[in-house]
Structure 1
Amino acid sequence: MQFIKPKNNNADKVDWLISEQVREIVKNYAEYCEYSESEVVDMFLKNLLKDEGFLKWIDGIRHNKRMLRKMGLEEFMEGEKLG
């Protein structure tokens, strides 16, 4: 069971350039899911933490505790291996 988590209150506005196609995909997917566009992007990008190559790369630099904390990977600061 997945428990409902509070929305991210530490949200910052970002200045990214994305294609018109991607904006349209996010807009329509958000409408389909009944989430805001920001929520869709937030949820989707968190899936990057399931990329095994990315996790191995992170494991190689896990001495960067602040980076791990910001990415929600605190458990790996305590010596667990990623992946």
Structure 2
Amino acid sequence: MKKWNYIKPKNLNAERPEWLISEHTRNIVAAFSEYSEYTESEVVDKFLKNLLTDDDFVKWATNKRNNKRLLKQLGIEETEEK
């Protein structure tokens, strides 16, 4: 029997950020969006999630005091008890 692959929403809880970026950065995102055929929002979302592969950042977040909420927000599981 074939298992169905249901369509999942792309962006759960998507919000418009309130930050400013340079024109140069906007041009990079726009060009990469055109190249990759992703929307600009998808490009930014995918790129920023790559920050979670920075071992020093993950280590910092894991060692931060009262970090359970932060780790949950970042999607990082605590691997060992302190």
TM-score tier, shorter chain, comes to 0.7 to 0.9
Query: Per residue, is there more helix in 1 or in 2?
Result: 1
Q: Give the TM-score taking structure 1 as reference length.
A: 0.78
The structure with more radius of gyration: 2
Q: Give the TM-score taking structure 2 as reference length.
A: 0.79
Query: After the TM superposition, which segments of 4 or more aligned residues of structure 1 sit over 6 Å from their partners?
Result: none
Q: Distance in 1 between matches of 2:18 and 2:37?
A: 24
Provide the aligned C-alpha RMSD in A.
Answer: 1.9
**Map of 1:47 onto structure 2:** 50
Specify every segment of 5 or more residues in structure 1 that has no aligned partner in the other structure, as ranges: none
- Taking only the aligned residue pairs, the percentage that are identical comes to 56
**Map of 1:61 onto structure 2:** 64
Q: Which structure's relative contact order is higher, taking Cα pairs within 8 Å and 6+ residues apart?
A: 1
Q: Distance in 2 between matches of 1:51 and 1:57?
A: 10
Equivalent pairs counted in the alignment come to: 74
Specify every segment of 5 or more residues in structure 2 that has no aligned partner in the other structure, as ranges: 1-7
**Map of 1:35 onto structure 2:** 38
Q: How far has the Cα of 1:17 moved from its partner?
A: 0.8
**Map of 1:72 onto structure 2:** 75
Q: How far has the Cα of 1:6 moved from its partner?
A: 4.5
